[in-house]
């Protein structure tokens, strides 16, 4: 078999993305346990839900005492971008049946991003699957280790886990803030959530910020 | 079934539906300009609100404690383009130092 240097490059990108993002799973594992989820519940979110921002939202809202419906609604809205990634990937992957189910499960930010970096469909496919499967493996492994570590800790404040969780969210938003409008909308969402916190049930201050996205999105 | 179990299984189901629908519907169903603009802002507002609540809320009360210092350090680290794990660890160290020593 001849060695194709381009292929090797796709593999290297996929692996480094999978490892870096996977490590982040430890922060999620710790966040889950800190929020009062069992190790099993925390790991199931990584196995079944498998989309970072949505997972952090579920444990964040439930941990703050929110209702399950607030957590589900917030996670669903955050996960809608994966539907758009699916639209983008479907004509390249061309899969049906059980293969489509598996491809759908690994349709996330990272797998789609690595795929779109490639310049032909064969490499796009390879990048998508390698990154998706790689992130899946490392994300789940590190979720378990993070959950295990956090459950051995006791009081999360002693180890700074109480700040690690919002810092992890911040790390998720940061790459999305690219222009002035986005910064302004982010600032308004923060003010809105803090204003509502003392006067509404937990979870409401978060899910209602979607109204801001609609107002600013329609306005153009 | 506890609320946490409902959240875990419910959110997992809708997450999968989101992913599967994208692979299965015609592109024109989802690809509309206003809709796309709103969708681009949705993660920004939800995650910003989550950061705010996780940093400053204690149940229904707003407080300023060690978490704010940790998140502020995380913000600085991001400005200096630190990788994610470093950002999270710096926030934890800052918050823990203040919590344990003051």
Contact between A115 and A124 under an 8 Å Cβ cutoff? The reply is yes
Contact between A1 and A114 under an 8 Å Cβ cutoff? The reply is no
Contact between A143 and A42 under an 8 Å Cβ cutoff? The reply is yes
Q: Are A163 and B66 inside 8 Å of each other by CB?
A: yes
- Decide: helix, strand or coil at residue B62: strand
DSSP annotation of A120 reads S
Q: Are B57 and A84 inside 8 Å of each other by CB?
A: no
Helices and strands (H, E) in chain B, number of each type: 5, 2
Chain B closest-CA separation from residue A164 CA (Å): 5
Q: Are A82 and B19 inside 8 Å of each other by CB?
A: yes
Beta bridge partners, B61, equal B58
Contact between A50 and A108 under an 8 Å Cβ cutoff? The reply is yes
Which of A164, A176, A190 is closest, CB to CB, to B49?
A190
pLDDT band at B3 (very low <50, low <70, confident <90, very high): very high
Chain A closest-CA separation from residue B102 CA (Å): 12
Which of A75, A158, A189 is closest, CB to CB, to B96?
A158
What are the CA-CA distances from residue A160 to residues A88, A166, B79, B94, B100 (Å)?
Answer: 39, 11, 21, 7, 9
Q: Are A83 and B19 inside 8 Å of each other by CB?
A: yes
For residue B37, pLDDT over 70 is answered with yes
Domain locations along chain B: 1-31, 32-101
> What is the reported pLDDT for A1?
46
Q: How many CB pairs under 8 A join A and B?
A: 314
State the ipTM, two decimals: 0.90
Q: Are A44 and B8 inside 8 Å of each other by CB?
A: yes
> What is the reported pLDDT for A220?
62
Token pair belonging to A162: 């109480």
C-alpha closest to that of B50 among A197, A23, A200: A197
Chain B closest-CA separation from residue A61 CA (Å): 8
Residue A64: HSE in the Cβ half-sphere, 13 Å Cα cutoff: 34
Chain B closest-CA separation from residue A4 CA (Å): 30
- The pLDDT tens digits for B51-100 are 999 999 988 899 999 999 999 999 999 999 998 889 989 999 999 999 99
> What is the reported pLDDT for A168?
84
Contacts of B16 (CB under 8 A, 6+ apart): A48, A49, A104, A105
Per-residue pLDDT tens, chain A, 220 aa: give them: 445 667 788 898 899 889 888 888 988 999 999 999 999 999 999 999 999 999 999 999 999 999 999 999 999 999 998 998 999 899 999 999 999 999 999 999 899 989 988 889 999 999 999 999 999 999 999 999 999 999 988 788 888 888 988 898 898 889 889 999 999 999 999 999 999 999 999 899 999 999 999 999 998 6
> What is the reported pLDDT for A5?
67
């Amino acid at each position: 078999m001849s060695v194709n240097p381009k292929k090797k490059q796709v593999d290297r990108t996929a692996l480094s993305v999978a490892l870096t993002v996977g490590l982040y799973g430890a922060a999620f594992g710790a966040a889950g346990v800190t929020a009062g989820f069992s190790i099993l519940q925390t790991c199931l979110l990584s196995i079944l839900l498998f989309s970072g921002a949505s997972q952090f939202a579920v444990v964040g809202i439930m941990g703050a005492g929110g209702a399950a419906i607030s957590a589900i609604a917030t996670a669903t809205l955050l996960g809608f971008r994966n539907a758009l990634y699916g639209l983008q990937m479907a004509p390249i992957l061309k899969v049906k049946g059980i293969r489509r189910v598996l491809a759908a499960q690994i349709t996330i930010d990272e797998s789609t991003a690595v795929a779109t970096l490639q310049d032909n469909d064969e490499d796009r496919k390879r990048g998508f699957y390698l990154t998706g499967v790689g992130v899946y493996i490392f994300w789940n492994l590190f979720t378990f280790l993070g959950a295990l570590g956090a459950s051995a800790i006791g009081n999360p404040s002693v180890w700074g886990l109480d700040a690690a969780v919002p810092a992890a969210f911040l790390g998720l938003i940061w790459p999305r803030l690219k222009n002035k409008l986005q910064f302004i909308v982010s600032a308004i969402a923060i003010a809105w959530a803090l204003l509502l916190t003392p006067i509404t049930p937990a979870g409401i201050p978060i899910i209602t910020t979607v109204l801001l996205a609609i107002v600013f999105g329609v306005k153009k | 079934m506890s609320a946490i179990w409902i959240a875990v299984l419910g959110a997992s189901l809708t997450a999968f539906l989101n992913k599967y629908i994208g692979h299965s519907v015609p592109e024109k169903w989802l690809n509309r300009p206003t809709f796309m603009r709103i969708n681009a802002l949705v993660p920004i507002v939800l995650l910003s609100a989550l950061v705010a609540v996780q940093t400053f809320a204690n149940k229904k009360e707003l407080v300023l404690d060690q978490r704010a210092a940790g998140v502020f350090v995380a913000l600085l680290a991001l400005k200096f383009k630190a990788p994610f794990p470093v950002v999270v660890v710096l926030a934890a160290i800052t918050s823990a130092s203040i919590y344990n020593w003051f």
